[in-house]
Amino acid sequence: MNEKDVIKPFNLPQLEKTPVQSSVESNLDLLQDIPLTVTVEIGRAKMLVKDVLRLTVGSVVELDKLAGEPVDILVNGKIIARGEVIAVNENYGIRITEIVK
C-alpha cells in the first residue's frame, strides 16, 4: 500500500430535523393560488358540418346523456367528480355526488 491508497475517515455534518408535516403543508400553501380550469360537461354530440351550419336560434342539439343523469366535473380536462345540476338564485350550479378515484 502506498500513500495514495490510505483510507481516511470522513465525517458528515449533522443534518437538521425538519418535520415532514410542516414541509408538506408549506408546499400545499404554494399551490393553493394556482388557477385551474373547472369544466362541467352535461353531454356531447357528434354532428356533421352541414348540420352545425343549419343551427339557428331555437335549434335543439340532442346530447348523449339522459336528463337527470350525473354530469362530469373536469379539472384541466381530467374527470375528478360527478354531480347533479341544480338552480341557485337563478344561476346553475352543480351538487357533487361522487368523487372519482
CATH (one of 3.40.50.1000, 3.20.20.150, 2.30.330.10, 3.40.50.720) for 35-101:
2.30.330.10
With 90 as the cut, is the pLDDT of residue 52 above it? yes
With 80 as the cut, is the pLDDT of residue 22 above it? no
Distance CA 80, CA 100 (A): 5
Domain spans of the chain? 35-101
With 90 as the cut, is the pLDDT of residue 72 above it? yes
Instruction: Give me the pLDDT at residue 4, please.
Output: 67
Higher pLDDT, 33 or 5: 33
In residues, how long is the chain? 101
R_g of the chain, CA atoms, integer Å:
28
Distance CA 45, CA 62 (A): 7
Distance CA 38, CA 78 (A): 9
pTM of the model: 0.60
